[in-house]
Structure 1
């Protein structure tokens, strides 16, 4: 079986998919700033793709489960992502860009959940190798942020749409290269009641509230971090390297996560992640002009994304039965999307009226609130 695993085909897809995230997270807000939009409009435009994350995975996931044509959905989603983003060349007006953001994100967010199912179907009894494949997604992110940062130092941000479409073409080619696979049929495991009953168990609702708060707290970072650093005098190539540093810390944390979860409970890991996030946002809001502090803050991405995400996925797996796993993961993605959209919106309005320090301070309060909730409401037995 191991000889038949299409390792490089699967890894190549993840490389390009997360390279697109590496091209949008640091540079999308910077591009809209380059076009002359205000902080409020930038926040709204960045929020739109996050709102699509609330809708698209659930709709396309239902279609994939109903038809079993997951690879066809991946390929269609990749093609429509490319075509719909190409509409950006027709106009640079706010309304048109909002439409482009909504359309391309609707198809882009359809792709990954379906591809995850295909990857695990290929792996079957080799599921432990998933991290070896997913690792290439983080590498793709790093290549994108470093490469595009250097590119935009040499060339104008006017080339940004072309760079994005080049990466989208890579996703499309990657999806065409991957062979299909269907998950093994397994007998239904006895559950612990329906999805709503499991959702209402002690600590579970509190966990999902904290998921939303954590994503709200990331609003200034994902929307204005690059703009913030450029205003402080950092070059775009340096900004790209700083984004890459955060992802490298995330990769190292993922490699250590199995050992951490053996030593610490999920509750402890989540609480520590929220507390470190609260500290990180204060550092970025007040001391980002000091490179040493900035480097430490970026290394803390290992906690604010890496340990949080790994522990959250573990929590969902532990607290939902086999037949409710998909719904539990979908709710996680949905609340992450809602929280991300709210974070982008509030950061846009607070950035314009109050400034970076207050925007990041609000983010810190949101993360601290999540730490208090998880400590008070999630019991060790709920891990």
Structure 2
């Protein structure tokens, strides 16, 4: 790693995913603290996901056209912080919806472009991406454990300030990272432009699975903390349980390079989808048993870790260097569509059907993804 700015890249991932560590377990709790119903919580959580459908493609196109990806990352980080600071002025539903939309528009500009910069630095060491990305998982752990203890002791009124402090860390880290340009490698023979590359059967199947996987994760990200709190778990323990899942994810990232050398991307994705289907059933039916909950959290290594690492590699292989930004942006967009649909369904399902059926629907979505990726196509050589 001596030839790449390992610690600078890693520092950015640490702060970026620390924001996710502050959002995933605690945003729903914060909205519940403000007195919103499950339906309204689902809608507010869905809004950033919906912005993920628009923002990455716009910023991805801009990055590919201008080549100024790092400038986009830095502007996005600054505007994310400024936009979210508007939450300090009002807590009504309409204002919060505006804040969720505005800050997400800029936040979702950041990661797809930074993924291209990271892979450009790594060049022929792309299999070592997981060793950089694991620092994002460490940032997530620090956030969920630290904030879990903080909120248990001092309450959720501190939530906006805590999140803004982490967003400021993204801005500082982006200023520390040197720029890099993707390698000018030949375009894959016979693939043509972005649309033609996208329309190959194997690529379309992959993106359908990405959307379904994010649908399946939505009850987990939106309501797991509320679910566990209703079952009697304290906020400190809830933070530790979230951290356990990410520890498993880190361990998976450490061995991802040899796993990808031994198994195809398609095999890794299939295993991730099957494990996700089982995991959601466990959380929906047996989360009151701590031992089962611990096993379910360890399964995060597959449902997020191996899935995300394999997906990033798939996108890199499927698009030429001139379409890398658009490819990574489309991955974020499809994930956003799935996440938004999942957050909406889980909000209404949670209120009317309860946790068991909400997680059962999530399991069905993951199962559908497994079926799609398991069906061979002429070009589905993932």
Task: Give the secondary-structure state (helix, strand or coil) at the position aligned to 2:201.
Answer: coil
What does residue 341 of structure 1 align with? 340
What does residue 12 of structure 2 align with? 13
Structure 2: runs of 5+ lacking an equivalent: none
Distance 1:66 1:268, change over 3 A: closer
* Cα distance between partner residues in 2 of 1:116 and 1:65: 13
* Cα distance between partner residues in 2 of 1:92 and 1:317: 41
Q: Compute the displacement of 1:120 (Å).
A: 3.6
Structure 1: runs of 5+ lacking an equivalent: none
Q: Compute the displacement of 1:303 (Å).
A: 1.3
- TM-score normalised to structure 1 length: 0.93
Distance 1:198 1:67, change over 3 A: closer
Q: Compute the displacement of 1:156 (Å).
A: 0.9
What does residue 327 of structure 1 align with? 326
* Cα distance between partner residues in 2 of 1:153 and 1:316: 40
* Cα distance between partner residues in 2 of 1:380 and 1:196: 16
What does residue 253 of structure 1 align with? 252
Task: Give the secondary-structure state (helix, strand or coil) at the position aligned to 1:289.
Answer: coil
Distance 1:72 1:162, change over 3 A: same
Q: Compute the displacement of 1:181 (Å).
A: 3.6
Task: Give the secondary-structure state (helix, strand or coil) at the position aligned to 1:203.
Answer: helix
1:357 to 2:365 alignment? no
Cα-to-partner distance string for 1:272-314 (whole Å, 9 max, x where unaligned):
2111111111110110000000000001111111122222233
Paired residues, what number?
382
* Cα distance between partner residues in 1 of 2:181 and 2:199: 32
What does residue 223 of structure 1 align with? 222
What does residue 2 of structure 2 align with? 2
* Cα distance between partner residues in 1 of 2:79 and 2:334: 25
Q: How does 1:312-323 map to 2 (within 5 A)?
A: 312-323=311-322
Q: Compute the displacement of 1:191 (Å).
A: 4.1
Cα-to-partner distance string for 1:327-361 (whole Å, 9 max, x where unaligned):
33332221111000000000000000111111111
Cα-to-partner distance string for 1:53-101 (whole Å, 9 max, x where unaligned):
1111111122222223322222211111111111101110000000000
* Cα distance between partner residues in 2 of 1:172 and 1:28: 21
Distance 1:267 1:175, change over 3 A: closer
Q: How does 1:47-196 map to 2 (within 5 A)?
A: 47-124=46-123, 127=126, 129-186=128-185, 188=187, 190-196=189-195
* Cα distance between partner residues in 1 of 2:364 and 2:124: 43
What does residue 207 of structure 1 align with? 206
Task: Give the secondary-structure state (helix, strand or coil) at the position aligned to 2:375.
Answer: helix
Cα-to-partner distance string for 1:117-143 (whole Å, 9 max, x where unaligned):
333444455555543332211111110
What does residue 39 of structure 2 align with? 40
Check whether the contact 2:61–2:325 (CA below 8 A) recurs between aligned residues: no
What does residue 239 of structure 1 align with? 238
Q: Compute the displacement of 1:21 (Å).
A: 0.8
Check whether the contact 1:273–1:307 (CA below 8 A) recurs between aligned residues: yes
* Cα distance between partner residues in 2 of 1:64 and 1:21: 23
More displaced 10-residue stretch of structure 1: 112-121 or 133-142: 112-121
Q: Compute the displacement of 1:236 (Å).
A: 0.7
What does residue 278 of structure 1 align with? 277
Q: How does 1:283-294 map to 2 (within 5 A)?
A: 283-294=282-293
- TM-score normalised to structure 2 length: 0.93
